[in-house]
Amino acid sequence: MTNMLYVLWVSAYNSTFLLCYKLIENFVWGDVKVQYVDDKTSAKKPKNTDLSVIDPSVSVPSALTAVNNNSLVLFLVANLLTGVINMSYDTLDSSDWSGILVLMGYTFILSTFTMVLYHLGIKLR
């Protein structure tokens, strides 16, 4: 019974976050514009009815594309940066706010690094 309650809690928690992410995505990028046409009711056919030909650059955020292009390099740089932080900063005795600042700086550095590689057109796989 205890495991079932845990499974339900984790499922509800993750479903809530997925719903929030979907709502944010719809708010920021809007709904996908797809037109379904029936041959019997419409005399005019659209030029492209194949959904696999939709341009992915329109619906995929550039940050996600940047991470996908350089995922191995980003992983290696993140591991090196984690090692530098752990060796130069006393993480066990730090306060909550300093830990949050370290995480925000860590995220900013990795995001900037990835986006710079993306905008320079560098793909390291």
In a domain, 95, yes or no: yes
* Residue pLDDT, tens place only, 49-87: 555 565 655 667 788 889 999 999 999 999 999 999 999
| Number of domains within the chain | 2
Secondary structure class of 43 (helix, strand, coil):
coil
* 69 shares its domain with 115: yes
Taking a C-beta distance cutoff of 8 angstroms, is the pair 125, 72 a contact? Answer: yes
What pTM was estimated for this model as a whole? 0.58
At 124, is the pLDDT very low, low, confident or very high (cuts 50, 70, 90)?
confident
* 112 shares its domain with 63: yes
Long-range contacts, 34-43 (Cβ 8 Å, 24+): none
Q: Residue 101: which residues within 8 A CB-CB, separation 6 or more?
A: none
C-alpha to C-alpha distance for 88 and 57, rounded to whole angstroms:
40
C-alpha to C-alpha distance for 44 and 37, rounded to whole angstroms:
9
* 122 shares its domain with 70: yes
* Residue pLDDT, tens place only, 28-55: 877 666 666 666 655 555 555 555 565 6
